[in-house]
Amino acid sequence: MTAVFVVCHHHWKEAAFLVFTFLMTFLPRIMECQTGIDYPRELEILILFFILVSLYLGEMRNYYNRFAWWDIVLHSLSGIIIGGTGFSVIFRLNKSRKFFLKLSPGFMCLFAFCFAVIGYFQMKHDIRMFDWLERKFFQLNPEFKK
């Protein structure tokens, strides 16, 4: 319904975001095919939820400007997703017969935590990069609009 509205009213930026959001919904399946690791369904649902709320609600419905806490929630959610992905990878490798890894559960949790923290700081770095790109070229970064 939204796609019909934005195309009829020539809102091409929003139409591009809708197409990008639709294509991103295939990301969990692509990740599974590329890595050969079967991610838990709950993690896939969380990834799809993150894609929906960050791209559709954040960008198209302007939640970055409406709610001051929106960016914090998304960064926290991305940390959870990145940590879950890291835990899934190390857990699957630990159970694999191809690799000789016998890691303790405590180390696996520490690895997932460190993976999530690194992902969180990487997201903060991306925000600074997008801010620079916005000032330099595009004027598109929704997190820094005044």
Residues, the chain: 146
> What is the per-residue pLDDT across 53-103, written as a single tens digit (0 to 9) for each?
887 788 778 888 898 888 878 888 888 888 888 888 888 878 877 777 778
Compute the Cα dihedral for 137, 82, 17, 124 and give only its sign: negative
Using only C-alpha atoms, the chain has a radius of gyration, in whole angstroms, of 18
Question: Which has more confidence, 7 or 19?
Answer: 19
Q: d(Cα 3, Cα 95) in Å, to the nearest integer?
A: 44
pLDDT surpasses 70 at 108: yes
- How far apart are alpha carbons 71 and 7 in whole angstroms? 28
The pLDDT value given to residue 93: 79
pLDDT of residue 131 exceeding 80, the answer is no
Greater confidence (141 vs 19) lies with 19
Tell me the pTM: 0.63
Top pLDDT among 79 and 144 is at 79
Does the CA dihedral 9-10-16-17 come out positive or negative? negative
pLDDT per residue over 1-13, tens digit each? 666 766 777 767 7
Residue 28: which of 42, 40, 43, 44 has the closest Cα? Answer: 44
Query: If you average pLDDT over residues 22-46, what whole number do you get?
Result: 80
Compute the Cα dihedral for 93, 94, 96, 102 and give only its sign. Answer: positive
